[in-house]
Amino acid sequence: MNNNVSNQEIQLNVSIEEANVLLEALGEMPFKKVFGLVGKIQQQASSQINPQTPQVNGKEEVKPQNHMAVHE
């Protein structure tokens, strides 16, 4: 990410379909530049779609996925 941009977080509201389009577009970029963002999108989407995800040590248990799409 650009170092000139503030680390202030914003909230974006997109549909599952739109999130998948974003993830597909990010998938076209070099992995080392976008892997953190892809993970963050997947984690936030998962916690909203499946709010009862098992917790391990107070943190959401994240299971590895073979693809980047957000599940319904």
Residue-level pLDDT at 16: 94
Per-residue pLDDT of the chain (72 residues; tens, 9 = 90+): 555 677 899 999 999 999 999 999 999 999 999 999 999 999 999 999 988 756 666 665 555 554 566 655
Residues 6+ apart with CB under 8 A from 53: 46, 47, 60, 61
CB half-sphere exposure, 65, CA atoms < 13 A = 13
One-letter amino acid identity for 19?
A: A
Taking the C-alpha atoms of residue 23 and residue 25, their distance in angstroms, rounded to an integer, is 5
Token pair in block for residue 45:
């989407």
| 3-state SS, residue 55 | strand
Residue-level pLDDT at 56: 65
Residue-level pLDDT at 23: 96
